[in-house]
Amino acid sequence: MPVIWTDNPEIHAAFISREIEKMGSRFMSVTNQKESADHLKALDNNRKIASDYLKQPTIELCMGKQVHSARIAYARKPGVIDNTDGLVTDKPWLAIGVLVADCAAVLIADPVNKIIAAVHAGWRGSIEGIIPEAILQMEKIGAEPDLMHVYISPCISRQSFEVGNEVAAQFPERFVDRSCEKPHVDLRGFILQELIKAGVSLETVIQDDKCTTKHPDLLHSFRRDGEESGRMMAVVAISD
């Protein structure tokens, strides 16, 4: 479970895997709750885990109800935002987080201008442009792409991401492997290209290349476990 960007003390960020379950903790979805009270219960559960892990008890948390879109919302305060797969903020000590299984979590931080983003990048959101949209929204509040640091979490690998032709056709051909019976897509490679096209330097990108399907002791995978799959969390906050 890496804590990220330890050389930037103003940024508090981590990717928290299923190892926390050994301590009796488990992340709760804020997307599938029916009642507002259940949303808040799930949010507070996730906040406590993130706060304990980052050793920052004063952190508050904002999350989105993820719908595999390219929508990015500005997080002004703790809470749950509808129909949102990415969050940006410049509010000190307001953590923003996303839950993932096979999709990639992408954390972006401009430590100079103190602006951060947390993005749930599945194949649908990625094709619709969630990465450039996140960077655009960060720029609107003062961030600069050439100052951004990025973390890409474990996600499903090209070897495991078998798709139908209708999905493969939506990706540039260089990210599609057609050597098997069905196409396979390189989601991580596509996300990296989107970051570089948006002006992020490759030198400031950290990638965890683990495949979610291949590490059942460490990583959740919906492709592997179906509805019984849990989630991991990527979270980031910035100090004042």
Q: What mean pLDDT do residues 186-204 have?
A: 97
Asked if residue 179 belongs to a domain, the reply is no
Q: Is residue 94 part of a domain?
A: yes
In the structure, what pLDDT confidence band is assigned to residue 32 with cuts at 50, 70 and 90?
confident
- State the total domains in the chain: 1
In a domain, 125, yes or no: yes
Please give the residue range of the domain that contains residue 89. 3-157+207-238
User: What confidence tier does 240 reach under pLDDT thresholds 50, 70, 90?
Assistant: confident
Q: Look at 27-36, 52-61, 190-199 and tell me which has the smallest mean pLDDT.
A: 27-36
User: How far is the C-alpha of 204 from the C-alpha of 186, rounded, in Å?
Assistant: 21
Report the mean per-residue pLDDT for the chain.
95
Whether residue 49 is contained in a domain is answered as yes
In-domain check, residue 178: no
Extract long-range pairs of 124-128: CB within 8 Å, 24+ residues apart: 124/68, 124/69, 125/68, 125/69, 125/70, 125/85, 125/86, 126/187, 126/190, 126/191, 126/194, 127/170, 127/171, 128/69, 128/70
> Across residues 235-239, what is the average pLDDT?
96
Task: Look at residue 34 and tell me whether its pLDDT is greater than 90.
Answer: no
Q: Which pairs with CB-CB distance under 8 Å and at least 24 residues apart come from 127-130?
A: 127/170, 127/171, 128/69, 128/70, 129/70, 129/194, 130/69, 130/70, 130/71, 130/72, 130/85, 130/86
What is the reported pLDDT for 228?
Answer: 87
Indicate if the pLDDT at residue 1 is higher than 60.
no
Is 106 within a domain?
Answer: yes
Give the model's pLDDT for residue 67: 95
Strand 72-74 relative to strand 94-100, pairing: unpaired
Please state the rounded mean pLDDT for residues 122-142: 98
